[in-house]
Amino acid sequence: MGQTIQIEKANSLKEKPDVSNIKFGTVFTDYMFSSHYTPEHGWETPTITPYKNLELSPALQSIHYGQSVFEGLKAYKSGDDILLFRPEENFKRLNRSLERLSMPKINEEDAIKALKELLQLEKDWVPDGPGQSLYIRPFVFADEPFLGVRPSRTYRFLIILSPVAGYSGAALDPTSIYVEDEYVRAVRGGIGNAKAAGNYAASLLAQQKANNLGYEQVLWLDGVHQEYIEEVGSMNIFFVRNGEIVTPELNGSILEGITRKSIIELAEYKGYTVKEERVHIDDFLKGVQDGSISEVFGAGTAAVISPIGRMNIHDTDYIINDNQPGDVAKDLYDHYTEIQYGRLEDPFGWVQKA
Amino acid sequence: MGQTIQIEKANSLKEKPDVSNIKFGTVFTDYMFSSHYTPEHGWETPTITPYKNLELSPALQSIHYGQSVFEGLKAYKSGDDILLFRPEENFKRLNRSLERLSMPKINEEDAIKALKELLQLEKDWVPDGPGQSLYIRPFVFADEPFLGVRPSRTYRFLIILSPVAGYSGAALDPTSIYVEDEYVRAVRGGIGNAKAAGNYAASLLAQQKANNLGYEQVLWLDGVHQEYIEEVGSMNIFFVRNGEIVTPELNGSILEGITRKSIIELAEYKGYTVKEERVHIDDFLKGVQDGSISEVFGAGTAAVISPIGRMNIHDTDYIINDNQPGDVAKDLYDHYTEIQYGRLEDPFGWVQKA
Ligand SMILES: Cc1ncc(COP(=O)(O)O)c(C=O)c1O
Ligand SMILES: Cc1ncc(COP(=O)(O)O)c(C=O)c1O
């Protein structure tokens, strides 16, 4: 990339939907960004075109052999400005994912410039209702047409945009989770800490099992012992134990969430004690039983913070904090989202204009 | 499916290539089969069309969340006949992969009928040189355009065909392998025993590491202990110990190879003792050092049997059987391929006409 971005204008624009009534990730804006990689020229032909279908080979490497990684972040409306939250973190992680899957890295600065140019063109698509935002999906996939287990020679980098209300339900509505001890999401030495397409497909059966048993999300245990807490659904997990905030330490199979990282920094700034440690499910269970664990919540870009009100651990149901959002979750959620929407001072330099 | 297959004829056919000069998986035939799944109608509109690019959404579920599985089998030329080798096993395994990834199953009989109809149309594409065949790639991928971690509602099932000489190099050319003890391919509870796209992307970095160290393939250890032998590259592994044939027992993370299963049956039929057991890498190493292990080979559809002549175990290089194909490997390879090409009697009912 690095070159000027070619822009191909659309003949007509779509009607903007009522964002409060659309499902997450189903409506896309008028334009998308794309760039193509060849071993000879690297990333080139950065282009903004109307959002449209792609013409892809039935032997597409990413469909057959799965070289495909993505990112997820959001743009927020603040008066006439569009704000981004730590976008450099997303493109850094995209590069870590790309490396893990033997894919060529992108230039992080060029990617942010491209994103900002796209957002300028699409600024009317950033919704301004409460909790609303424009979800940004950068992704890279292998597009060489061949069958064989080796890295693709060619790739595409795209950014598409989708206006969203919130990931699901109202903000801070408590969710229910099922502790999964049969299926495994990821294991150290694997690709759990990459945002790779294959990880998500691998998680669906456990998700369905949890749903069938009456729970909304899966709590994943580690792949080696199936005893240590890792993540909840597609979020990192936090809990409050004796007033301190605890989250599982990064171990190679947990995805390094940007919300996780930012929540830790914000909580420490606000005077909480935060501990990153290996958490055995039975120690966790004891804390739930004896009341030392007073709150549990997930953290991720989509919902920011998602309180957990009900948990199935070893086939027994436990209610956390009367199935209500806890004080710590509420405190962090409010502060965090106020920073994201530019309504509270940002002492961390997290927020930038698009 | 079940319905009559619509056939759309091509206006012109491609020139057939010299198969001995093409790379595996890069040349495709004139036609492909496809069918589409919706929750309302199941699998429908089975169609044979000219092989051509697909129009797919940039929000394609399989690119973002990886619901994509495949199979690989071959058609062999025998006089005027085209032979298939245990195709029902491939479609059975496809259904197991589909289930594991929360995807809708196909009808196995309809799929075999569709494959045979496609092969009849493409019979001139089945090459007849020594070791040559027509590689068959059935695959299913999610094609709903949306962003979110849930199973897709719609899917495509395709079959594409590619004439091949052999997977790589000459038949029975010994290969070299590196025992990987950092990266992990799969773990029990995961999707290692599904032929899912994501597994292959996850394996590439270790493959590159092995290549950089001067080895052709990776020997994968189990994901839990990183101590038990699982597979080699994209093949199952066998070895000969004190004249007996040994292969790691299936454990949920090893792919259930059809070649593996058939080699076991053929070897027993020929009077060999075959053992399926959990194999610790250090026991294996001892056998290599004291000479009780006399042959090591991989087994898979692409190469059938691939002798292993050199191995790096715990950073030391070992030469197996003077880096020559062993007698057991040769014996099984010859018998197996003669059955596949219809030149030797098939006492198992493995071979059928297309
Ligand atoms: C598996 C998984 N864990 C955690 C997260 C949270 O990461 P982030 O806070 O960067 O959105 C995500 C992404 O949303 C995820 O997919
Ligand atoms: C990971 C893996 N293991 C083993 C095999 C061998 O399976 P089969 O004998 O059915 O080709 C394959 C496929 O070729 C594979 O992809």
pLDDT digits (tens, 9 = 90+) for A58-69: 999 999 999 999
Q: What is the pLDDT of residue A177?
A: 97
Cα B235 to ligand 2 centroid, rounded to whole Å: 5
Interface contact B189-A198, CB threshold 8 A: no
Write the residue in B28, B202, B234 that is nearest to A190 by C-beta: B202
Q: What is the pLDDT of residue B170?
A: 64
Q: What is the C-alpha separation between B133 and A171, in angstroms, rounded?
A: 58
Interface contact B65-A28, CB threshold 8 A: no
Q: What is the pLDDT of residue A171?
A: 74
* Residue A167 scores a pLDDT above 60: no
What kind of fold does domain A175-340 have according to CATH? D-amino Acid Aminotransferase; Chain A, domain 2 (3.20.10)
Q: Does the complex come out with an ipTM higher than 0.95?
A: yes
Residues with Cβ within 8 Å of residue B248, at least 6 apart in sequence: B228, B229, B230, B231, B236, B237, B254, B276, B277, B278, B279
Q: Where are the alpha helices (DSSP H) in A74-212?
A: 87-100, 108-121, 197-212
Q: Where are the domains of chain A?
A: 6-164, 175-340
Read off the pLDDT of residues A169-197 as tens digits, 9 standing for 90 and up. Answer: 567 899 999 999 999 999 999 999 999 99
Q: What is the C-alpha separation between A72 and A91, in angstroms, rounded?
A: 10
Residue in chain A nearest B198 by alpha carbon: A198
Read off the pLDDT of residues B33-81 as tens digits, 9 standing for 90 and up. Answer: 999 999 999 999 999 999 999 999 999 999 999 999 999 999 999 999 9
* Residue A1 scores a pLDDT above 60: no
Q: What is the pLDDT of residue A94?
A: 98
Q: What is the pLDDT of residue B78?
A: 94
Domains B6-164 and B175-340 share a fold: no
* Residue A200 scores a pLDDT above 80: yes
The mean predicted confidence, pLDDT, of chain A is: 96
Residue in chain B nearest A233 by alpha carbon: B149
Model confidence at A3, pLDDT cuts 50, 70, 90, reads confident
Q: What is the C-alpha separation between B88 and A76, in angstroms, rounded?
A: 53
Cα B71 to ligand 1 centroid, rounded to whole Å: 31
Residue in chain A nearest B135 by alpha carbon: A147
Residues of B in contact with A204 (CB under 8 A): 67, 101-102, 149-151
Read off the pLDDT of residues B208-224 as tens digits, 9 standing for 90 and up. Answer: 999 999 999 999 999 99
Ligand 1, atom 1, lies closest to the CA of: A234
Write the residue in B51, B55, B66 that is nearest to A201 by C-beta: B66
Does ligand 1 lie within 6 Å of residue A235's CB atom?
yes
CA of A142 vs chain B CAs: smallest distance (Å): 9
* The two structure tokens encoding residue B295: 């042959």
Does ligand 2 lie within 6 Å of residue B77's CB atom?
no
- Report CA-CA distances (Å) from B298 to B112, B175, B216, B237, B240: 27, 9, 12, 4, 12
Write the residue in A184, A200, A208 that is nearest to B190 by C-beta: A184
Interface contact A189-B184, CB threshold 8 A: yes
For residue A203, give the ligand nearest its CA: 1
Q: What is the mean pLDDT of residues A324-343?
A: 96
pTM reported for the whole predicted model: 0.97
CA of A271 vs chain B CAs: smallest distance (Å): 34
- Counting beta carbons within 10 angstroms of the beta carbon of residue A345, is it exposed (0 to 12), middle (13 to 18) or buried (19 or more)? exposed
Q: Which long-range contacts (CB under 8 A, 24 or more apart) does A146-149 make?
A: A146/A59, A146/A61, A146/B23, A146/B25, A146/B26, A147/A59, A147/A64, A147/B24, A147/B25, A147/B26, A147/B72, A147/B135, A147/B137, A147/B162, A148/B23, A148/B24, A148/B25, A149/A65, A149/B200, A149/B203, A149/B204, A149/B207, A149/B233, A149/B234
The mean predicted confidence, pLDDT, of chain B is: 96
Q: What is the pLDDT of residue B3?
A: 78
Taking alpha carbons only, the member of A46, A10, A235 closest to residue A125 is: A10
Residues of A in contact with B216 (CB under 8 A): none
> Domain A6-164 - what CATH class?
alpha beta
- Report CA-CA distances (Å) from B136 to A146, B162, B200: 13, 7, 18
Interface contact A58-B53, CB threshold 8 A: yes
Ligand 2, atom 16, lies closest to the CA of: B234
Shortest-distance atom of ligand 2 to CA B262: 9
Looking from the CA of A152 toward its CB, the CA atoms found within 13 Å total 29
Q: What is the pLDDT of residue B167?
A: 52
Which residues of chain B fall below pLDDT 50? Answer: 168
| Mutation target among B23, B141, B187, B235 for the A interface, most CBs of A within 10 A | B187
Write the residue in B23, B151, B204 that is nearest to A101 by C-beta: B204
Q: What is the mean pLDDT of residues A234-240?
A: 97
Ligand 1 pocket test, pick from A235, A247, A250, A265 with the greatest ligand atom count within 8 Å of Cβ, gives A235
Question: What percent of chain A has a predicted confidence (pLDDT) above 90?
Answer: 94
Write the residue in B70, B182, B191 that is nearest to A64 by C-beta: B70
CA of B14 vs chain A CAs: smallest distance (Å): 17
